[in-house]
Amino acid sequence: MPFTANRQFKAEPRLIASAEGIHYTTVDGRKVIDGSAGLWCVNAGHGRREIADAVSRQLMALDYAPSFQIGHPIAFDFAEKLAAIAPAGLDRVFFTNSGSESVDTALKIALAYHRAAGQSTRTRLIGRERGYHGVGFGGMSVGGMVNNRRAFATHLPGVDHISHTHDLARNAFSRGLPAHGAELADDVERLVALHGSETIAAVIVEPVAGSTGVLLPPQGYLQRLRALCDKHGILLIFDEVITGFGRLGAPFAANYFGVTPDLITSAKGITNGTIPLGAVFASRKIHDALMVGPTSQIELFHGYTYSAHPVACAAGLATLEIYRKENLLTRGAELADYWQDAMHSLRGSPNVIDIRAIGLVAGIELSSRPDAAGSRAYDVMVDCFNRGLVIRVTGDTIAMSPPLIIERSQIDEIVTILGDALKRVA
């Protein structure tokens, strides 16, 4: 099982049989609130008939078509609708099958862009400590989560990392964006001085780092990072696999923060988690730079068998229609204050050392047990599951990102279950 302590799980399995709305049903018939939207992806809730019907129709009309040298209309229809909700200027779309593939695709597009622009010395990729960018060799290399890297000795060459932004001493229990740390973006200057700006192709960051424990960017940090990349001719990539499609109360984190990168990676909420699909959004500048040479020439030697799979595109179109009809891309903004107050009400619970919340996502950091990092959060997770709530844990941080259809009363229920679990596990 992926990212699972397999022996531990099989000694005490947690099995889900069905799902509807914001609830799972376990194999023994218990209703369990989905406090993590699956794996940050089921934004419109489970069991959406509109998506199932669209998938069924598409399977019977066109179950598969190759995307190499042949196309199908639904891919272009979907790309057009995605471009309409993307940050202004990022209206070129390349389809993948997952967040990991989107990251590797964006990194390759960045390298191809610089080569096409006559700057082939720009081959270095810059990630960030504690960043998570999937499990491909590209994403693992620019990622900065230690356990995801150290088991695999081989990484891409020519990769470096800027400092992470987590400052527990100065920013614990911040409401909204942390006040301290914008200057950490200046670490880009250190790497420019070390390697030379002419060698650096791109910097990739999560606007809000999710899998490492919900780390919010300090006030002004992303704006400063954008300015530094512009100064040195470096492309800026936002990994929005988690933050895309309404998680922060805006279509993308780029909209929320008012910072437009050169490339955005996405997946997860793009199909409500129903069928694997991802997409990379690129600026016209990047796209057009690749459209050179003979018209018979392949401009980007990259792609996947299932890029723009027609059934996945059908699921995506149905998902976007749900988001539109129910205003789910912005609903998080309406609930953000209530969510933040609810999460911060857990301050003072046993072993809670920080609470971070933005939009409809939150991280609750716990103090670690001596010589047993991660065990306290794991025990909280098991207790919550047994009492009716699914949460995500990463190390000793509890991460929550419920479906965007959640109601205030259900937020209250989450807080009650989690608060009681924190007391029991203490």
Q: Mark whether 168 and 280 lie in a shared domain.
A: yes
Same domain (yes/no): 180, 236: yes
> Of 325, 354, 369, which residue sits at a domain end?
325
Mark whether 42 and 168 lie in a shared domain. no
Domain span at residue 101 reads: 51-325
* Residue 222 to residue 405: CA distance in whole angstroms: 29
**32 and 55 share one domain:** no
At 365-409, the pLDDT tens digits run 999 999 999 999 999 999 999 999 999 999 999 999 999 999 999
Q: Are residues 316 and 370 in the same domain?
A: no
1 falls within a domain: no
Q: Which residue has the tokens 């078509």?
A: 65
User: In the sheet that 124-128 helps form, which strands lie side by side, from edge to edge?
Assistant: 92-96, 278-282, 263-266, 235-239, 200-205, 124-128, 159-162
Residue 253 sits in the same domain as residue 350: no
Q: Is residue 41 domain-shared with residue 116, that is, in the same domain?
A: no
Last residue of a domain, one of 293, 325, 357: 325
Q: In which band, very low, low, confident or very high, does the pLDDT at 51 lie, cut at 50, 70 and 90?
A: very high
The reply to whether 36 falls in a domain is yes
Average pLDDT, the chain: 97
Assess if residue 43 is contained within a domain.
yes
pLDDT at 198 over 90: yes
Q: DSSP character for 95? A: E
β 263-266/235-239 pair status: parallel
Handedness of CA 171, 177, 183, 185 (dihedral sign): positive
Q: What pTM does this model have?
A: 0.97
Do residues 109 and 119 both lie within one domain?
yes
Q: What is the pLDDT of residue 202?
A: 98
Q: Model confidence over 285-331: pLDDT tens digits?
A: 999 999 999 999 999 999 999 999 999 999 999 999 999 999 999 99
Query: Is there a contact between 410 and 22 (Cβ–Cβ < 8 Å)?
Result: yes
Q: Which of 325, 342, 367 is where one domain is finished?
A: 325
pLDDT for position 151: 85
What pLDDT score does 153 carry? 81
**Domains in the chain: how many in total?**
2
What does residue 215 show for φ and ψ, rounded to 5 degrees? -105, 120
Q: Does residue 364 fall inside a structural domain?
A: yes
Q: Are residues 348 and 421 in the same domain?
A: yes
Same domain (yes/no): 90, 160: yes
Q: What is the CATH number of the domain that holds 376?
A: 3.90.1150.10
256-295, pLDDT tens digit by residue?
A: 999 999 999 999 999 999 999 999 999 999 999 999 999 9
Mean pLDDT of the region 356-373 = 97
Considering the domain boundaries, does residue 14 fall inside one? yes
Looking at residue 57, its pLDDT comes to: 98
Q: What tens digit of pLDDT does each residue of 143-194 get?
A: 999 988 988 888 999 999 999 999 999 999 999 999 999 999 999 999 999 9
Q: Are residues 305 and 377 in the same domain?
A: no
* Domain co-membership, 28 together with 148: no
- Residue 87 in domain: yes
Q: Which CATH number does the domain housing residue 125 bear?
A: 3.40.640.10
Q: CA 383, CA 404: separation in Å to the nearest integer?
A: 24
Q: Is the residue at 26 inside a domain?
A: yes
| Residue 154 pLDDT | 87
To the nearest whole percent, how much of the chain has pLDDT over 90?
Answer: 98
